[in-house]
Structure 1
């Protein structure tokens, strides 16, 4: 989980606010934990998250 959170933090650093990011279902929980806002998330399909541009308090 920490590895995924770090990868997402790296991705966000290179993404402009409002960027739509599509992830596999297994990563949706990690995305939520790192503060991404869910735009759409079917239970058994890919989920899309919007990069908010706000620093994450739980990922250094």
Structure 2
């Protein structure tokens, strides 16, 4: 029973920390454009081809 006096505040502290980090990421705009990076990768016009051989051979 004594263990609960330690585990419950630790659980609340970890939950509060996770909630704070999530709220900070929302405020910072981390979830504003979820599909933009994926679309930019697929439609990039200036991609250079990947070389499979060494130059000069």
TM-score (norm 2): 0.27
TM-score (norm 1): 0.26
Kindly indicate which of the two structures has a greater share of residues assigned to helix: 2
The structure showing larger relative contact order (alpha-carbon pairs under 8 Å, at least 6 residues apart) is 1
Q: Which has the larger radius of gyration?
A: 2
